[in-house]
Structure 1
Amino acid sequence: MWRNQKVTKRSGIHALCAAGAAVLLVGCSAPAEAADRGGVGPSTRDSVAVGYGGAVSSVDPDATEAGMEILRSGGNAVDAAVATAAALGVTDPYSGGFGGGGYLVYYNAADGRIRTIDGRETAPAAMDEDAFLDENGEPIPFAEAVTSGLGVGVPGTPATWEYAVDSWGRKPLKQVMRPAIRLADEGFVVDTTFAEQTAANQDRFADFPETARLFMPDGRPPEPGSVLRNPDLADTYRAFVREGADVLDGEIGADIAATAADPPVDPDAARDVRPGLLTAEDVADYEVIERAPSHVEYRGLDVYSMAPSSSGGSTVGEALNIMEAARARAPYSTGDTTDTWHLMLEASKLAYADRNSYIGDPDHVDVPLRTLLSQDYADERACFVDMQTAQQAPVAPGDARDGNGCAAAGPPADNGTEGPSTTHLVTADHQGNVVSYTFTIEQTGGSGITVPNRGFLLNNELTDFEFEVADNGAGAANLPGPGKRPRSSIAPTIVLNDGEPYLALGSPGGSTIITTVLQLLVDRIDRGLTLPEAMAEPRLSQRNTPATLAEPGFFGTAQDKELSALGHTFTETSEIGAATALEFLGGRRIQAVAEPERRGGGHAAVLRSRR
């Protein structure tokens, strides 16, 4: 655990104004080049970039440019990752930001080691197992927990940014935060995705005057092409530059706690918003944890990701191990998409069954991680895989306590209610350092509650806890508790080949994060698709449920018909995940890849382009 010294210098901002765009909030519009950096729609975005010297890929052009600016100034991959994340706090505030948390995975080229930061939000000291139960002992409605102070956890993002930059970065926090401060001051061009997300939250945001003032200044969602400024967030970032994570020991931390404990609701709102349990002491006492990464070997590659409190790395790792075991038992051609996806879906069912039963905060519950990641255990779990027939989900967990994967340890547990709105980024530099970073405020728009005059939304991450233990005992590992981190599915991943970076990837999407990362790995490594091809493939998500989620492009394909004939059932969803990734092509060449269409498309860039 870690607490850092203060950073005392403050960066100055040179404001630039230009005409030609509708301006929201008080002040000048964005600079003239804003439309080129982050304009409306996919036309201003590059989903693939190939070149040398470093790379950044995120969901937003302005954020990617912030990371690139830091690389051009001599910063490394860690500096660029934090700069990109801080910019996303401005342009993608409904997915992640200063009021949330996340997990960062870092490859250090100097020593070849993988390091990870657990910056997950924590529960207040006053939160007990029954926190989400009403006076009759029944779970409160989930929607009431989402839009409440009760669902707000202690933010871990500020400490994550400071820890990463101070431990592994090359530039001072003042310089790393400069692009995001400028972006918040000058504004960014609203795109269609931002406008649609605001519209989807309009009724909720309208009940919180500060949220409405910030994101709907004219009483309605901003129009695509207009410019949105956030000077309050710029001031918060300046305070962070001066004080580092210790900024949460002072007025900003006190404001976070007060806002969660007594949410500022419009007096005319009909919404009943439950108060939270956060105190200023809870916020001030937060500490990130540097954990050992999860690790499995798959087809000669080393796959590293995030260990618990996230279930991402362990579940992806276990599924890959099961696939490896099943392949050894019943060899088949990896060029056959149906066989490969069938095996992926079957392995995912088994891995999710174990995830749902065993994963929680390892500082509060006993997580059998070594067993879950062992090839011996996966070899036993693979006894349930039949290449000719799909298992009918939900399937039972294995007995990970005794290391017997072929024995059912009890009835299946629920997946939980993890929200889908998160954001992911990847960065690399000319020295060979790599970062894969996923951070979040949970649902799109988090709790819906903005800290007055601070410019950021609070998370609702504590709704990732189980509200109660099921009658069959399932869910006990992820009950609320004082200071506890709720289980996450975040899976920032770095793959090494002979000790050198090969892939870096991750995605938002709640519990579908795991299946998105798994499918990207399977499609790239097993099926031999290029990384852009793998990114564009229709996605499937099997999380130990009777039906597998599938994107529209899957239906009517040969794989749809052939997998259905094996007993798989599919249900349609509009999109799964919004990934970003890097591939290291050899000769210091990097391919940066973002989504071409999902969430409006992402943006990838390299320092020196070579097409």
Structure 2
Amino acid sequence: MVNVVRRRSALRRAALVLAGVLAAGAVATAAPASASSPSLTPPQGAMTVAMGRPTPPAPSTSVGTGGAVSSVDASASAVGLEVLRDGGNAVDAAVATAAALGVTEPYSAGIGGGGYFVYFDATTGEVTTIDGRETAPAGMPTDAFIDPATGTPYPFANAVSSGLSVGVPGTLATWEAALDRFGTESLRDMLKPATLLATRGFTVDETFRKQTLDNEARFRAFPDTAELFLPGGEAPEVGSIFKNLDLARTLRLIALRGTDAFYEGELAAEMADIVQEPRIDRAVSSLPAMPGFMTTDDLAAYEVLEQAPTHVEYRGLDVYGIAPSSSGGTTVGESLNILENHDLASAETGQALHLFFESTARAFADRNAYVGDPAFVDVPTEILLSQDFADARNCTINPLQASPKPVPAGALDAAGCDAVALDAAEGAENLSTTHLSVVDQWGNAVAYTLTIESTGGSAMTVPDRGFLLNNELTDFNFVPNPADPNTVEPGKRPRSSMSPTIVLDGGEVRYVLGSPGGATIITTVVQILMNRIDLGMTLPEAVAAPRASQRNSTTTPGAITTPAEAAFIAAYADDLAPYGQSLTAVAAPGTSASEIGAAAAIEVDASGLMTAVAEPVRRGGGTGLVVEPAP
């Protein structure tokens, strides 16, 4: 069942004022769950900032009680922790953390984007999701990504940096809906820490500078973006303080007037104007910066969807995720259902990884063939999540030999090992997203993945407003095809791979996790669960372990190759070779593209002890914090 959640036209009830934000050094530290893994320590020389004040390096893993927060950023995690300490619940902390990530991770998240919110209510035992995915404007034609001059699709790089790529943002509506439905605090108060962070600034780290440099040409093309993110004409130096006073003013406006200040009025008109008439400096850029279709009517009409989660059982645990429009829940679920047929704990390492690759390849084949926005496509969600369907897909796997890729999608009425070959493109979903996980003292939990799509989104900043607009519509497949579940249609949500996931054990939260990474999000979530549940790793080890991502695609049809991190190749290439599995590096070592994902996860054991885990190295390292650190 899907419920349309309409935005309020009046401010939410008054709530307690968040007392202060973050004192310098208010970072909980604790020993990691496994001291045996050297990868669990923060990167050398890591330095975080709490509202512009330096603090010691933050831990990637903390263990304790009373609540936990994990995200890619130390300041954002600390904001969420402070909300939990002040008596807020998991939803309150998740919204405050997400707002802070919009300040410190502006190239990955922010109010110009969207995402998916999964909530577990410990009192009712129910899991609910909020689909805050961006939508295509009502006036967007199905051939919007076809160049009329050539009759062929626009190059992806051109489509991204344009008004054409911008979908109607859903992030603020998600925060409002989550707080209204499940929170205890007001949106006004949950925006205060982020507002203060934007005002006082944060210390630029190597990741922020590198992301800026990677997008420097695009940012220079748009004067408003260059003014904000290239101050003085240069990327901010590592160690400098980056302030975003325009964003602080925008957040204050929203706090005062509610989400109407974003979806209606002057700000909405400014967003629509930028999309329809991109402000590009033709003297410094040859980007075509095609105009887009978003209007003020599209913004005023935006609504999030509250709907049931996906659900599968894996090794006696209940795994909940996000249903379509995202493909995350169905593809993670199908992968796990296929793996349910195999005793991975007893298998040799090479065979366990071989089965992991073959399972995700088949799940991706079915994802590409069948999953899209269910408001426009008849998505066979129940079949894709059924154990019978997974069993039929499993019997196409040779446990001792890799299949040539791409493998065909499964027939929905398949019996035994019957399958039908269906042609489906992988799509061009990008990598820059962010994820946060929260558990509160009452056992409520949130897994929330949010994004503006590519690193830097569309590269277009709303003038004097301090935030980038998304490029989510490039997640559609560009070539119109009535048989393609992810073809462009007016009002449609593009298919996503975001996979916020909550795992319950006997009705109580056990794991909360998710990751950025485009289509690799799905394989990252599956691999972390497999590492933890089947392969005997602790959660910190499962997150830190090297990754590979088999998504049923290959540059040479019929080949067998899987993109992998360099550390994965070094560790497992020899183990996988007997199974016919070959590996290829995802990118040159030392680049951000050489990493797969940047997970944020929490484990709650049977005694209630919480382990908050973030990446120790990937994306500069993240931060997991607990309210009451264990001795």
| TM-score, scaled to structure 2 | 0.90
Matches within 5 A, 1:31-430: 36-37=49-50, 44-135=57-148, 136-247=150-261, 248-271=263-286, 272-325=288-341, 327=342, 333-334=345-346, 336-400=348-412, 402-404=413-415, 406-430=417-441
Shift, 1:332, TM fit: 6.2
Between the aligned partners of 1:36 and 1:507, the Cα distance in structure 2 is 23
The answer (yes or no) to whether the contact 2:48–2:58 under 8 Å persists in 1 is no
Q: Which residue of 1 aligns with 2:7?
A: 4
Q: Tell me, in whole angstroms, the C-alpha distance in 2 between the residues paired with 1:49 and 1:16.
A: 18
Question: 2:444 pairs with 419, 433, 440, which one?
Answer: 433
Amino acid at match of 1:7: L
Partner of 1:25: none
Deviation of the 1:385 alpha carbon:
1.1
Change (3 A) 1:469 1:224: same
Partner of residue 519, structure 1: 527
Residue of structure 2 equivalent to 1:584: 604
Contact 1:59 1:424 in 2 (8 A): yes
> Over residues 408-439 of structure 1, what are the superposed CA-to-partner deviations in whole Å (9 max), with x where a residue is unaligned?
33333111000100000001110111000000
CA distance in 1, matches of 2:576, 2:53: 38
Is the CA contact 1:371–1:403 (under 8 Å) kept in the aligned structure 2? no
Distance 1:54 1:332, change over 3 A: closer
Large movers: runs of 4+ above 4 Å: 8-18, 38-43
Distance in 1, matches of 2:565 and 2:105, equals 24
Measure how far apart 1:406 and its partner are: 3.2
Q: SS at the partner of 2:81?
A: helix
CA distance in 2, matches of 1:185, 1:310: 34
- Between stretches 135-144 and 80-89, larger displacement belongs to 135-144
Looking at structure 2, the residues matched to 13 and 380 of structure 1 have their Cα atoms a distance apart, in angstroms, of: 56
Residue 543 of structure 1, CA deviation: 0.1
**1:403 Cα shift?**
4.8
Q: What SS does structure 1 have at the residue aligned with 2:165?
A: coil
Gap regions ≥5 residues in structure 2: 25-46, 555-560, 587-593
Query: 1:478 and 1:377, CA in 2 relative to 1: closer, same or farther beyond 3 A?
Result: same
Q: 1:49 and 1:14 mapped to 2: Cα distance?
A: 23
Query: Secondary structure at 1:541's aligned position in 2?
Result: coil
1:38, distance to aligned residue in structure 2 (A): 7.8
SS at the partner of 2:523? helix
> Do the aligned partners of 1:165 and 1:173 also contact (CA within 8 Å) in 2?
yes
CA shift in 2, pair 1:608/1:343, >3 Å: same
Matches of 2:19 and 2:319, distance apart in 1: 41
CA contact (8 A) 2:565 2:595 kept: yes
User: Which residue in 2 is equivalent to 1:604?
Assistant: 624
- Mark the runs of 5 or more structure 1 residues left unpaired by the alignment: 19-33
3-state DSSP of counterpart to 1:378: helix
Q: CA deviation at 1:237?
A: 1.1
Partners in 1 of 2:599 and 2:352 — Cα distance?
21
Cα 1:332–1:492 change in 2 (3 A) is: closer
Instruction: Choose which of 507, 514, 530 in structure 1 pairs with 2:515.
Output: 507
1:477 alignment partner AA: P
* 1:511 to 1:35, Cα distance in 2 relative to 1, 3 A: closer
SS of equivalent to 1:367: coil
1:533 aligns with 2:541: yes
Q: Is the 8 A contact 1:149 1:260 kept in 2?
A: yes
1:267-311: CA deviations, max 9, x gaps?
423322111111000011100001110100011000000010000
| Identity, % of aligned positions | 53
- How far 1:202 moved relative to its partner? 0.7
Alpha-carbon contact 1:446-1:457 (below 8 Å) kept: yes
Q: Is the 8 A contact 2:168 2:294 kept in 1?
A: yes
Note if contact 1:318-1:378 (Cα within 8 Å) is conserved in structure 2: yes
**Corresponding letter in the other structure for 2:276:** A
The answer to whether 1:477 aligns with 2:485 is: yes
State how far apart, in whole Å, the 2-side matches of 1:74 and 1:491 are: 28
RMSD: 2.2
Counterpart contact for 1:303–1:494, Cα < 8 Å: yes
Instruction: Give the equivalent residue in structure 2 for 1:31.
Output: none
CA contact (8 A) 1:354 1:398 kept: yes
Deviation at 1:37, TM superposition (A): 3.4
Equivalents in 2 of 1:42, 1:378: separation in Å?
49
Cα deviation for residue 240 of structure 1 reads: 1.6
Give the 3-state SS of the residue equivalent to 2:511 in structure 1: strand
Question: Of residues 550, 553, 565 in structure 1, which corresponds to 2:564?
Answer: 550
SS at match of 2:129: strand
In the TM superposition, residue 138 of structure 1 has moved relative to its aligned partner by: 1.0
CA distance in 1, matches of 2:21, 2:520: 41
Residue 155 of structure 1 and its aligned partner are, at CA, apart by: 0.2
TM-aligned CA distance change 1:531 to 1:332, over 3 Å: closer
- How has the CA–CA distance of structure 1 residues 41 and 461 changed in structure 2, closer, same or farther, with 3 Å as cutoff? farther
Number of residue-to-residue matches in the alignment: 587
| More divergent stretch after superposition (507-516 vs 267-276) | 267-276
Mapped to 1, the partners of 2:414 and 2:380 lie a distance apart of: 9
Change (3 A) 1:405 1:150: farther
Aligned to 1:21: none
Cα separation, partners in 2 of 1:238 and 1:262, compared to 1, 3 Å: same
The alpha carbon displacement at 1:245 in A equals 2.4
Task: Say if 2:5 and 2:303, in contact at 8 Å, map to a contact too.
Answer: yes
1:540/1:180 Cα in 2 relative to 1: closer, same or farther (>3 Å)?
Answer: same
- Residues of 2 paired with 1:38 and 1:235: CA distance? 16
| Structure 1 residue identity aligned to 2:540 | P
Cα gap change, 1:514 to 1:13, in 2 (>3 Å): same
Distance in 1, Cα, partners of 2:214 & 2:56? 24
Q: CA deviation at 1:554?
A: 1.6
Residue 499 of structure 2 is aligned to residue 491 of structure 1: yes
TM-score w.r.t. the length of structure 1 is 0.93
Residue 593 of structure 1 pairs with residue 613 of structure 2: yes
Cα distance in structure 1, aligned partners of 2:193 and 2:312: 37
Contact 2:60 2:621 in 1 (8 A): yes
Q: Is the 8 A contact 1:40 1:191 kept in 2?
A: no
Q: CA 1:318 to 1:454, structure 2 compared with 1: closer, same or farther past 3 Å? A: same
Opposite residue 428 of structure 1, the aligned amino acid is V
**1:40/1:190 contact within 8 Å kept:** no
Please state whether the residue corresponding to 1:44 is helix, strand or coil.
coil
Is the deviation greater in 543-552 or in 220-229?
543-552
- Asked if 2 retains the 8 angstrom alpha-carbon contact of 1:41 and 1:192, the reply is no
1:399 to partner: Cα distance: 0.9
Tell me the secondary structure at the aligned position of residue 130 of structure 1: coil
Q: Deviations over 1:135-173 (max 9, x none)?
A: 142111111100000000000001001101111011112
The CA distance in 1 between the partners of 2:321 and 2:332, in whole Å, is 9
Q: How does 1:20-35 map to 2 (within 5 A)?
A: none
Query: In the TM superposition, what is the alpha-carbon distance from 1:562 to its structure 2 partner?
Result: 2.3
